[in-house]
Amino acid sequence: MKHSVQFPIKVNPGKSIGKLQLGMTPEEILRAIHEMRMDWGDLNKSDVEILKDMEFDGLLCVRYMCCTDGCIPFFFIVTFRDGTAVEIGINRDVDPYQPVVYPVRDMQHLPLFQLPADLLVTYLKTFGQCVADNDDELLANEYVFPELGLTLWRENAFHSKLLLNREYMEMMGDMVTEEFGNVFFEIVKVSM
């Protein structure tokens, strides 16, 4: 996927990711994804693949996947309740093409997929409470900021402190270098 200009995808907690806004219908979400791809210069004719991930408790989770020219697919995952978006997420595979940022001030942005988890979480905690899914916050997979309407997620957690743990190092062996990628988040979500 080649883009002539990189437009940052702004994550506005509790509101939107790029042109995808909470409260939109599935049709509006799909139209917004197409508009964003056009803005990026993604003129490839590939369609957006739509996968219904799961439906439970009145919620429908839909994954909108985009893949062009054999690239790693990036996706938006949207949770709908009663036909409107109540949560919107984006995965980090879009970031090499379009940076995903959290607006701080007028012209300053935090790159959400390029900052180590511990630094990003520490900064965001200055704006509101953080609920981590692990007693050891440095090794959590999911961080929820309820007041902000923001969730950060990674499948596997890693922190450099693990390098000092003999048991961990023996278990991981040569694979430890692969773990360094897990200091970053994989999905960012906004919700109401």
Averaging pLDDT over each range in 37-51, 84-98, 100-114, which range is the top one? 84-98
Tokens for 177?
């270098």
Give the three-state DSSP class for 36. Answer: helix
For the chain, give the mean pLDDT.
83
The larger pLDDT score, comparing residue 102 to residue 172, is at 102
Regarding whether 184 and 110 lie in a shared domain, the answer is yes
pLDDT above 70 coverage of the chain, percent = 78
Domain count, the chain: 2
Distance between CA atoms of residues 78 and 60, nearest Å: 8
The pLDDT of residue 3 is 46
Task: Kindly list the strands in the beta sheet with 16-17, ordered across the sheet, starting from the edge strand earlier in the chain.
Answer: 20-21, 16-17, 9-12, 100-105, 108-111
Tokens for 64?
């909108």
Boundary-marking domain end, from 50, 68, 94: 94
Q: How far is CA 156 from CA 47, 162, 174, 179, in A?
A: 30, 13, 17, 8
Regarding whether 90 and 15 lie in a shared domain, the answer is yes
Averaged pLDDT, 152-178:
70
Regarding whether 134 and 84 lie in a shared domain, the answer is no
The pLDDT of residue 97 is 72
Domain extent for 21: 9-94
- The alpha helices in the chain, defined as continuous H runs, are 26-39, 117-124, 166-172, 176-179
